[in-house]
Amino acid sequence: MTPTIPTKQQPEPARRILCVGAAVLDTLFRVDFIPAGQGKVLPTDMLQIAEGMASSAAYAVARLGGSASIWGAVGDDETGERIIGDLAASGIDTAGMRCVAGARSAVSTILIDDAGERLIIPFYDPRLHHGVQPVTAEDIAAFDAVLVDVRWPELALKTLLAARQAGIPAILDGDVAPEGVIEMLGPAASHIIFSQPAAERLTGASDPVSIVRQLKETFSHAFVSVTFGERGSYWFDDDDALIRHLEAPRIRAVDTLAAGDIFHGTFALMLCEDMAMEDVMRSSSMAAAIKCQTFGGRIGAPDRAELDEALTSWPARAVDVTRPAGQAV
């Protein structure tokens, strides 16, 4: 009898994530403290790097083995060329980037202190985002998910709507934005991950459970989560109608810049890999924590092996923190 030769399994193709929004040339200064008034502060380290919410999220996807694309805008200047070149060299598909004649590319100066906290001074030329091309389901048919930030709301909305039409996850990075932007984008999203400051502004609450409950009532159609930095993340479990909390990994933060973006990029990729939601949140939380231990914004994002190893030694699991509606906080 002739033995059966096992068929070699082909590796699954990398999930393709489209990130839409900010592309900025950041100048990072590491300082002992962030000044409260006039004076001169001498940095101990300095780095220039192309990032921004969508760009850093795309980098996280690429680092973890996914296929990342970025749609955004730069000016027709040397800074724009540098931003696109830097992102492309980091493994991100920049073919969808728009170069706007007469506009200045986005830049920011960022101070990062010894506790890992930061002061950000950004500049965005409003001409970068004048005019938005149509976005159809066919335009994004090759992607497994889209992730948008709040920096280019018109393009973000068109992309979210196209993703919903195409039947793929339409993920919104719900960060602090001008009045009305979250309210415009939220109804088009299938998943919304809020930052703590944005969530508190939208709800007027400070207690995480109350915040998540109010946000879920407002965006009942979507998966809703809020990240609270060192206090971990909270989300509404749609399967059991419960609010769950996952503590944050215990680390010594060196640089929290781009931590939320790394969380979002990891979330988008793991969601497309059909993980259970708790595992998606654990992976995203750990990826953000690993990033915080390296100075340099997005460059601290882990690769897949580093993330998997860290997760095996982290025992934290999500717990139910739901309180009955109307119970006092």
Question: In the prediction, which pLDDT does 187 show?
Answer: 98
Take residue 222 and report the two structure tokens written for it: 């979507």
SS3 168: coil
Question: In the prediction, which pLDDT does 38 show?
Answer: 87
Q: What is the DSSP letter of 229?
A: G
Question: In the prediction, which pLDDT does 4 show?
Answer: 46
Name beta bridge partners: 237. Answer: 242
With CA atoms as reference, report the closest residue to 129 among 109, 100, 107, 108: 100
Confidence of residue 39 (pLDDT cuts 50, 70, 90): confident
pLDDT tens figures, 262-285? 999 999 999 999 999 999 999 999
Q: 250 Cβ partners below 8 Å, 6+ apart?
A: none
Q: Is 240 exposed, middle or buried (0-12, 13-18, 19+ CB in 10 A)?
A: exposed
CA torsion angle 128 132 136 142 (round to 10):
-10
CA distance 185 to 150: 8
Query: Is the pLDDT assigned to residue 6 strictly greater than 70?
Result: no
SS3 303: coil
CA torsion angle 282 283 287 292 (round to 10):
0
Question: What does the mean pLDDT of the chain come to?
Answer: 93
Q: What is the DSSP letter of 52?
A: -
pLDDT tens figures, 101-119? 999 999 999 999 988 888 9
Choose between 133 and 281: higher pLDDT: 281
CA distance 162 to 156: 10
Confidence of residue 323 (pLDDT cuts 50, 70, 90): low
CA distance 151 to 149: 6
CA distance 15 to 88: 18
pTM, to two decimals:
0.93
Beta strands in 113-210, from DSSP E residues, in sequence order = 118-123, 145-148, 170-174, 191-195
Name beta bridge partners: 71. Answer: 20
| Contact call for residues 17 and 68 (beta carbons, < 8 A) | yes
SS3 225: strand
Q: What is the DSSP letter of 130?
A: S
The H or E element containing residue 155 is helix 153-166
Query: Is the pLDDT assigned to residue 3 strictly greater than 80?
Result: no
